[in-house]
Every structure is written in C-alpha cells, then in structure tokens.
Amino acid sequence: MSSPLSAPMGSLGVNLPAAIVVGISLVIGLGMVIVFRYTSDQKAIHVAKDRLKAHLLALRLFQDQIPVVLRSYGRIVLATGRYLRSAFKPLLFVIVPLIFLVVQLDRYLGSMPVELGHPFLVKARMDNPNALNEASLQLPDGLSTTAPPVHVPSEREVVWRVVAETSGEYIVNVQVSDQTFSKRVVVGACLSRLSPVRLRGKFWERIFVSGEPALPENNSIKSIAVQYPPRKIAFAGFEWNWIWLFFVLSLAAGVLFKSILGIEI
C-alpha cells in the first residue's frame, strides 16, 4: 500500500519522509504537552522541579560546608525521584498511545521497500529442522530466486535469495507439505506500509514488529521474514533514523509549545 502523497510530493522535490516526520513531530509535540497538562498534577510537578532547583542552588550557596553539600546531593537524588513519580502518571497517558502510534509509523518510515534488481532474503523459520527439506517457495511473476535455498538447521531456517524485476506489491507463498503460507513483499521506491515478518502466535511481538495477520496455529512454520533495508532520512545535513529525528523534533516542539502554553513538564 503506497502513500497517495508519494507521487505529488516527490514531483515537487519535497523529501516526503522528512516532511512527514517534521509534521508529525509538531503535532505530537503539541498534543503531548496538552495531554500532559490535563493528566498531570501541575502543581506537584512545579513543586518537585522547584525543589530540585533549590537543592542545586544549595550546592552553590553553601559550597564551603561539606556536610551541607553532601546532604544536597542526596536530596537532589530524592527530589529527582519525586519528580519522576509526579511525571509518571501523565507519562503513562502520553507514552502508551504514543508507542502504538510510533509502531504504526515505523511500518512506513522504519524501512524502505526492496529495491528493484537488488537481491533480498526471504526466511522461513520452522518448528522442526527436519521440515526444512519439505519447504518450497512459490513466487509470483516479477520475482525470481537467484540461488538455491540455503538450510540453516541451527536456526531452523530456510533462506531464499530473491530478486524483483518490476516494482509492485507481491505475495510470496511458502509451501510445507500440503500447506501454503503467504507473505507480502513490497518492491520499489514508494512510501509503503511494510511488514518485515509474519509470525505465528506471539501477540505482543506481532503488535510491535509485524503488520500482517498471524500465521495459522498448528503448522510447522513459526515465521516468514523479508529483509527490508532500513530507511535513512536526510534532514539538516544528516542522515537520520526516523525515530531519532522524531525524538529530537517532537522534543523541541514540546519545549516550544510548553513555553507558549505555560505548561509545566
């Protein structure tokens, strides 16, 4: 599934992933401070921060009094703990939805689709190493293998090296005995929703790393993975992993909006 914005933004010379990260960071930064404002005890946070500052000032004011300085260090640690405790509840409200949002964004921004003409690996992991010989890969038109499958018994994996001849979204099938299991593969340069692995069971792991339905239970395949290259986003003269760029920009946006809105964080 490619983004409908990819083509028009690309034709305008806009770095679409960077633009998306910037936009999302601003929105998230703003939303986060507002949620923080209404889910936190602003006064308690204000007091906790003030106490921290007071103990820091004490270090300077009473610098020649070693016992006072040592006590102040201890109080700084305690005050930091109190601050974190005050910030904990609102952070829950912020972090939990943010994690799921970021997971979804990572489907689009974390990796790039397979490049045309560049070989990539399709890995099927089995329950039983004896079943490796029974696994075969069925490819649609446009994809082809470039080497015989490699069995890695220690990992219980069979690995195929595949290359794409045309861009597009493909379904590859792995057949074991009389059962067939599919996996989506995206080829090209567009901004698409990618799922690097399809898993059996493992609910939480699927939530965080997979974008496809679970493999059926009671079969011999544990996972089918496609190795997508990581995406690097050019921004401000650096190549960024999108998470770091998002981290920095949303933090900056949060600081900006908290100051404008007078919110204590």
Cα distances (Å, whole numbers) of residue 168 to 21, 115, 133, 229, 263 = 24, 11, 30, 16, 47
Q: Which of 2, 30, 83, 132 binds another protein (CB under 8 A)?
A: 83
Q: Which of 118, 144, 208, 229 binds another protein (CB under 8 A)?
A: 208
Q: Looking at beta carbons only, is 42 or 175 nearer to another protein? A: 42
Residue 126 contacts another protein per CB under 8 A: no
Nearest by Cα to 29 from 244, 247, 264, 262: 247
Residue 20 contacts another protein per CB under 8 A: no
- Sign of the dihedral through C-alpha 9, 28, 193, 231: positive
Three-class DSSP category at 192: strand
Three-class DSSP category at 108: helix
Smallest gap from residue 62 Cβ to another protein (A): 5
Render 55-106 in DSSP notation, one character per residue. HHHHHHHTTT-HHHHHHHHHHHHHHHHHHHHHHHHHHHHHHHHHHHHHHHHH
Residue the block writes with tokens 């109080």: 75
Q: Which of 5, 14, 61, 234 binds another protein (CB under 8 A)?
A: 61
Residue the block writes with tokens 């602003």: 42
- Give the separation between CA 81 and CA 45, rounded to whole angstroms: 12
Kindly identify the residues of this chain, within the stretch 145-204, that bind another protein according to CB under 8 A.
204
Task: Return the structure tokens found at 168.
Answer: 């597009």
Smallest gap from residue 199 Cβ to another protein (A): 12
Q: Which stretch binds another protein (CB under 8 A): 87-95, 115-123, 190-198, 231-239?
A: 87-95
By CB under 8 A, the count of residues binding another protein is 60
Q: Looking at beta carbons only, is 157 or 264 nearer to another protein? A: 264
Residue 14 contacts another protein per CB under 8 A: no
Q: Which residues bind another protein (CB under 8 A)?
A: 28-29, 32, 36, 41, 44, 47, 49-69, 72-73, 76-77, 79-80, 83-84, 87, 89, 91-92, 94-96, 98-99, 102-103, 106, 204-205, 208-209, 243, 246-247, 250-251, 254, 262, 265
